Structure 1
Amino acid sequence: MLWPFGTTWRPVRQKRRATVDLRWLSARTWTRRWYPQGIDLGLWHGRRTLAVSWFRQRLDGHHLASRVAFVDLERSRHLDVLLAIDEGGELQPAPIHAGGLAWFDDRLFVAATGRGIWEFDLADIRRVRGAEARRIAGASGRGLRASALVAVRTRVHPIELRCSYLGRVFDDDGTPLRRVLIGEYTKDDAGRIAEFTVPDADDDDFREESRFTPGITQMQGAARWGDRHFVSQSDGMRPGALWTGSRDALVRDRVPLPVGCEDLALDLDAKLLWSLGEHPWKRVVRGIPFHSLGLDG
C-alpha cells in the first residue's frame, strides 16, 4: 500500500489472543538507538490509525532525533514521519523525548520533557531528501536514506509541569473532550498529574483545570474516561502495573502491562486500552480488551 506521497508502508505483525499485540518486523525490535515512548489514536486519510512516538539517541545517551510511526490498524502496516523544528529556514531534528502523544485532527501534541508541549501540523507533512533527510533522522554519514516525511513544529505550549507524558480525556458516554492529562515521571511518589483544556486558537495556551498527586512512583502514562483514571507504572525489566479508579482512590489492576511500559491510550471504538513496552527484544504495542479490565465499554 502506498501513501499519497508514494512512501511504502512497512509490515507489523499482529496477533489477537487475550490481547492485541503488534510487533515490529525490523531491527526496531532490538535496536538501542531508537526507543518507543508515546501512543494515541486518530484518523489518517480516513483510516483508524495508531500513532507511536520514538526518540533516537547515541549509545552514550545523546539525543539525536524523534519520529512518529503511524500504524494502520486494519492492514497492519506502518510508516514513519520525522519530527522537526524550523531554525531560520533550515529544518533540524526535534530534540525531544516524545514521551506522550495527543492527536486532535491535524494537530499532534507531543510531550517535550521539561520543555512544555510541542505542537506539530499533520496537514503540512513535507518530503525531504538526501542530506536533509539524514540530518533530521539523526543519521551520520552518507547512509541510505534517500527521502523522508517530516512534520514541522508549529508552536511550543509552556506548561509548569515536567511534561513526561500526555494522555486523552473522554466523557462518561465516550465523547472525546478537548482535554488532556499531563504528568510527571519521577522515581519517588511526588509525581503530579494535571488536566488541561486544549486551546482552539493558535494564540491561546493550555488552560489547567485540576491537579493531583497519585502517590505512585515511576508513572509513565495517564488517561481518563468519565470519573475513571488510568495510570501506567513501569518496573524496570518486570511487567508494568496499571492503576485504575477515581483520582483519589486508584487501585492496582491484576492485568499487567508490557515490560518497560510507557504511555496509555484509550480506544473506545475497539474497546481496548493501548500501551507499549520500550525495552529491546521485549517491544510490543499491546491492546488490552476492556472486558479484561472489568469495563463495559
Structure 2
Amino acid sequence: MLWPFGSTWRPVRWRRRDALELRWLSARTWTRRWYPQGIDLGSWRDRPTIAVSWFRQRLDGVHLASRVTLVDRERARHLDIVLVVTGDDGELEPAPIHAGGLAWFGDRLFVAATGRGIWEFDLSDIRQVRGADARRLAGARARRSRATALVAVRAAVHPVALRCSFLGRVFDDDGSPLRRVLIGEHRTDGSGRIGEFSIPEDPEDAFLETDRFAPDIARMQGAVRWGDRYFVSQSDQLHPGVLWSGPQSALTRDRAALPVGCEDLALDLDAELLWTLGEHPWRRVVRGIPFAHLGIGDGGKAQRT
C-alpha cells in the first residue's frame, strides 16, 4: 500500500523547541538552484499538509522551473509537484514564475506570479510525466535515463493591478476562512502596497478588489489577516526577519523574530501557529511560531500539535 502522498517521497526533520521547525534532509537545504518562497496550509488525500513553493534558476539567474512541495504534517514526508503551463502548440512547459506566495482553496492553488498577476493551478488533475519530459519540466539536467515528475497545469491567469510579489489568506474574527486573499508588493523603498481581493467562484472571472493600503514597510515578503489584525513579514538580508502586526493603520514591530531571509506567511488557526520560512542556503527552515509567543491565544493547541 502506497503512502497517501504516492510512491515518491523523502523525509524531513521536525524540531520542537520554542517553535515548530522543519528542516530539509537533502541538498535542498543548501542548493543555489532552488529557492523556497511561498507557504500555505491545506489538505492532500485527507491529510493535513503544508505547501511550500520554490523556483529553480541557473547560477546566472535564468529561470528554469517552479514547483510546490507538499509536506505531510504528521508523517514528516513530502513530495514535489511541478507547476506547468500549456504552450501554444499544446505541449506542457515549465511555469516561468517566481512563486512568491501561495493561497490554497481545496483543489485550487493560487500562486503569485510577480508582475503577471495571480496564476491558478488545478490540483484535481495531477499528471505524471516521465523521462525527458519530466526532466525538462523540472528544469533538471539529463543525468538519468529514467525520471518521473508529478505536474499541476495552470488553469487560469487572474490579472491584478499590483506587482503580485506575495499572496496570503484572510480569516474572519471567529477564525472562519474567507474566500479572500491579501496580495502585496515587495519594494525596497517602503512604497509597496497590499490589496485585499475576493476569490471568484468561476476561474474565468476576475478577482474583485475590496481594499488597499500602503503600510510603509520596506522589503515586505508576506501578509495575512485574522479579523482586524494583520501580520506582515519583512526581510533584512542576512539578519533575522521582522514581523509587523496589529490593525491596518497601526502596525507595530513584534518581538518574535522571523527566520533569516524570511518569506511568505500562513495562519494555522487550528494549531495556533503562524507559519513562515527562510530562503537562504544553509539557513532554510519552515517555522511555525506559537500564537502564545505573539501575545494571542494560549498556545495550548500548538504545544499539543
Q: TM-score, normalised by structure 1?
A: 0.98
State the shift of 1:255 in Å. Answer: 0.6
Residue in 2 that maps onto 1:175: 176
Distance 1:55 1:228, change over 3 A: same
Alignment-mate amino acid for residue 292 of structure 2: H
State the shift of 1:3 in Å. Answer: 4.7
1:141 matched to 2:109: no
SS of corresponding position for 2:221: strand
Residue in 2 that maps onto 1:111: 112
SS of corresponding position for 1:254: strand
Aligned-partner Cα distance in 1 for 2:142–2:180: 42
State the shift of 1:144 in Å. Answer: 5.7
Give the alignment of 1:94-243 within 5 angstroms: 94-143=95-144, 146-243=147-244
Aligned-partner Cα distance in 2 for 1:37–1:249: 27
Distance 1:22 1:245, change over 3 A: same
Aligned-partner Cα distance in 1 for 2:11–2:288: 18
Tell me if structure 1 keeps the 8 A contact 2:94–2:139.
yes
Cα deviation per residue 1:134-191 (whole Å; 9 max; x = unaligned)?
Answer: 1100113343651110000011000010000000000000000000000000000100
Report the identity percentage.
72
Aligned-partner Cα distance in 1 for 2:92–2:3: 23
Alignment-mate amino acid for residue 30 of structure 1: W
1:59 matched to 2:66: no
Residue in 2 that maps onto 1:11: 11
Alignment-mate amino acid for residue 253 of structure 2: R
5+ residue gaps, structure 2: 299-305
Tell me if structure 2 keeps the 8 A contact 1:113–1:164.
yes
5+ residue gaps, structure 1: none
Tell me if structure 2 keeps the 8 A contact 1:82–1:148.
yes
Cα deviation per residue 1:30-69 (whole Å; 9 max; x = unaligned)?
Answer: 0000000000000111111000000000000100000000
Aligned-partner Cα distance in 2 for 1:78–1:70: 5
Tell me if structure 2 keeps the 8 A contact 1:65–1:137.
yes
1:92 matched to 2:88: no
State the shift of 1:4 in Å. Answer: 5.8
Q: CA RMSD in A?
A: 1.2
Aligned-partner Cα distance in 2 for 1:189–1:285: 26
Alignment-mate amino acid for residue 214 of structure 2: T
Distance 1:100 1:5, change over 3 A: closer
Residue in 2 that maps onto 1:258: 259
Distance 1:5 1:39, change over 3 A: closer
Aligned-partner Cα distance in 1 for 2:112–2:146: 27
Tell me if structure 1 keeps the 8 A contact 2:155–2:203.
no
Q: TM-score, normalised by structure 2?
A: 0.95
Tell me if structure 1 keeps the 8 A contact 2:172–2:178.
yes
**Which shows bigger deviation, 7-16 or 169-178?**
7-16
SS of corresponding position for 2:256: coil
Aligned-partner Cα distance in 2 for 1:97–1:106: 21
Tell me if structure 2 keeps the 8 A contact 1:112–1:118.
yes
SS of corresponding position for 2:49: strand
Q: How many residues align?
A: 297
State the shift of 1:201 in Å. Answer: 1.2
Q: Which runs of 4+ in 1 moved over 2 A?
A: 1-8, 140-145
Aligned-partner Cα distance in 1 for 2:204–2:26: 41
State the shift of 1:9 in Å. Answer: 1.8
Distance 1:144 1:274, change over 3 A: farther
State the shift of 1:279 in Å. Answer: 0.2
Aligned-partner Cα distance in 1 for 2:5–2:286: 26
Cα deviation per residue 1:223-281 (whole Å; 9 max; x = unaligned)?
Answer: 00000000000000000000000011000001100000000000001100000000000
